[in-house]
Amino acid sequence: MSVPFEEDAGLKLSRYSGEFSNRETEQRFRAEQHPEIVRQAQILFAVAAGFSVLLLTLNLLLPPDPETVLDVIAPRSAAILASLASFFAIGQLEQRYVGPLILTWAVVIAVSSTLLIGIQTHLSIVPVLALPAIYYLALPTHLRTTIVVGVASTILLDVAYVASGPSQDLAMRVVAASVLLNILLIAMRNMSNRRLRIVWAQSHAYRRALSQLAESRHMMERIFKAVPIPLVITSRASGTITRANEAAEQFVGVAEGQLTGRMTGDFIQDPTLRDKMAREIVKTGLIRGAPMEIVRADGEVRSVMASAALMEDDGNDDITVITGVIDVTDQIEQQRQIRAAEREYRELFENAVVGIYRSRPDGKMLRANPALVRFNGYDTEAELISAVNDISDEWYVDPGRRNEWLRLMRENGRVTDFVSEVFRHKTRERVWISENSWTEYDADGKPLFFEGTLVEATDRKRLEEKIEHMALHDQLTSLGNRRLLEERLRQACARAQRYGGYFSLMYLDLDRFKAVNDAFGHASGDQLLQKVAERLKAACRAEDTIARTGGDEFAILSVGIGYPARLSLVAERIIASLSDPFELDGPPVAVGISIGIAIAPIDGVEPKDLMAKADEALYRAKEDGRNQYRFFNESIVARAQNAPLLLEKNRA
């Protein structure tokens, strides 16, 4: 059974042997004690050899019985030889052979002593009681081995003693004494083992503590020197700097060693702060993050956060203080800039004439500035945010624009000048806006929210539409111009090439327009062109493209009309609509019109071909007497006779 010596399980001692229960610990103990074990064993061997030599000499010089001298020489000589051999051998053996050697020696001594008891009965009681005591107290072996040797030698000696013929009473007394002596010696050996091992363990613990303390001090010294935080150690009483690390010297801007001996007050800008901190450190023993300003050697003032703690100086009663500072000058400046930026942003947010917003990816509004609140017809930001649940459905006239906006945000992270038609949320008035938006991301690159600005673009949109209309329309007649005609013709040709179908292109030219212009002036000519445009629009379908392509030249693109008979009716209707005189700011004037017609795909499906063929047909109409129409391909028209199947066959 074991009992704990320390919390460390490896240091538990056996209750019965007093040795370490842990085998490895016991082996380590014996390994360290090996030189002492060898020394003790050699002393034991030397004493045994010397004592045996002395006894042998006495036996030879003063033999109790001359007949027994030879019987004494052999056991004594064996003890002497065993002791001497063990003395010289033990110093050369490995640790694992020391125990067996000692055990062998003990057996030899026990046997030789047993043999001598029967020869020298008057001295027999001495080895019976002394030899086990020597074994228990002097053998540096495991207690189990010692007990075996001690008990075995006691039994041998007791048997030999009883056999030597003493009185029964004396024999009983000697045996009882030897038994009690064994018990007492075992207990003493147990206590001795425990005492030796406790001392050894405490010695080890003490040395380990000293080693750890030295290592800790060495580590703290390295940390003190290497840490990038300025550290100084000062006397609490005087404020004199006794030590400073390299970081402190660099921070203050002095050479190595020049801080030592200086006063801390030399570098603190506020002269009252040093005393205030001294009182605080005495009161609490610790200061954390005290703001102060340090004046460097070059006069620069740096803002720092100082922390200090009391520490006792070994070897004397002086109380020292270790102080560390963290330079926060740049952080303070950054915070000042951040606050200024936040203030500027807040002022911009509140006073901007453009709308500024922040919204979640799911379309929920998070922030809105006053301009955006007013734009949507509300009085407060809270009203707008609570009213808008999903921008996609509640803001954009065309919800598809929100999807397009989200696509651009996913691909580019921002959109620029995104023009859309939206509702003023509260009034549902439709207006145009232009958005500039961007995405804010979290540390993992996931979108947190969207931010952006918007301005109303209704006037801009109208202006753009007006500019676009002007770019594609004739300013005098409001009809399409050549650019619009060519664009629509290109689209019609592309559809015909891809999907089939037919359409027609008419070129028109006023007859006698020049005469009207010359007779009545350009103002009347312009007025005539405007009235001609009105009659052309009345004679055509709403989906037809009517364009003024030159001075008195017009063109009509009719998609879906390809039958010659039907086109003839359209041409005749146009000619008839222009046959009535025109009422101008003077006398009525009469003009005619000539028309050239090209049909797609009969005459081709390329814009240039159709325009050239319509122009050629117009030329023939003028050559044939004016105020009439001509098809480019008169022969096909004649055969068609309004037969769409024939036209389809020819197109194929």
Q: What is the CATH number of domain 230-331?
A: 3.30.450.20
Average confidence (pLDDT) over 231-250 = 81
Measured CA to CA, the distance from residue 569 to residue 584 in angstroms comes to 28
Report for 5-19, 25-39, 120-134, 422-436: range of highest mean pLDDT: 422-436
Average confidence (pLDDT) over 505-531 = 90
Write the pLDDT tens digit of every residue in 155-167.
Answer: 766 676 677 666 6
Q: Provide the 10 A C-beta neighbour count for residue 340.
A: 10
Name the residue among 19, 362, 422 with its Cα closest to residue 186: 19
C-alpha of 163 from chain center:
91
Instruction: State the pLDDT confidence band at 328, using cuts at 50, 70 and 90.
Output: confident
Report for 239-248, 435-444, 634-643: range of highest mean pLDDT: 435-444
Measured CA to CA, the distance from residue 445 to residue 441 in angstroms comes to 5
Question: Whole-number mean pLDDT of the chain?
Answer: 81
| Position with higher pLDDT, 384 vs 149 | 384
Measured CA to CA, the distance from residue 19 to residue 140 in angstroms comes to 12
Is the model's pLDDT at 7 over the cut of 60?
A: no
Name the residue among 243, 217, 219 with its Cα closest to residue 231: 243
CATH superfamily of this structure's domain 473-651: Reverse transcriptase/Diguanylate cyclase domain (3.30.70.270)
Is the model's pLDDT at 379 over the cut of 60?
A: yes
**Contacts (Cβ under 8 Å, ≥6 apart) of 598:** 504, 505, 604, 610, 611, 613, 614, 617, 631, 632
Is the model's pLDDT at 131 over the cut of 90?
A: no
pLDDT of residue 5: 44
User: Is residue 407 packed enough to be buried (19+ CB in 10 Å), middle (13-18) or exposed (0-12)?
Assistant: exposed
What are the distances in angstroms from CA 239 to CA 243, 272, 288, 471? 12, 13, 18, 86
- Say which of 474, 544, 552, 615 is annotated catalytic: 552
Measured CA to CA, the distance from residue 355 to residue 222 in angstroms comes to 59
Which residue shows structure tokens 């359409």? 503
Mention the CATH class of domain 352-462.
alpha beta
pLDDT of residue 17: 66
| Position with higher pLDDT, 193 vs 459 | 459
What is the SS3 assignment for 106?
helix
Name the residue among 424, 367, 362, 418 with its Cα closest to residue 394: 424
* Helix%, strand%, coil% for the chain, nearest 5: 55, 20, 25
Instruction: State the pLDDT confidence band at 610, using cuts at 50, 70 and 90.
Output: very high
pLDDT of residue 645: 41
What are the distances in angstroms from CA 228 to CA 305, 307, 324, 326, 428? 15, 15, 10, 10, 63
Q: Phi, psi at residue 232, to the nearest 5°? A: -135, 150
Report for 115-119, 139-143, 238-242: range of highest mean pLDDT: 238-242
Domain boundaries defined on the chain: 2-204, 230-331, 352-462, 473-651
pLDDT of residue 576: 94
509 as an active site residue: the answer is: no
Measured CA to CA, the distance from residue 215 to residue 203 in angstroms comes to 18
Is the model's pLDDT at 146 over the cut of 80?
A: no
pLDDT of residue 631: 95
- Is the four-CA dihedral 45, 47, 50, 51 of positive or negative sign? negative
Write the pLDDT tens digit of every residue in 469-481.
Answer: 888 899 999 999 9
Is the pTM here over 0.85, yes or no? no
The secondary structure element, H or E, covering residue 416 is: strand 414-423
Let me know if the fold of 230-331 is the same as that of 352-462.
Answer: yes
* DSSP, residue by residue, 429-441: -EEEEEEEEEEEE
pLDDT of residue 62: 67
Is the model's pLDDT at 189 over the cut of 70?
A: no
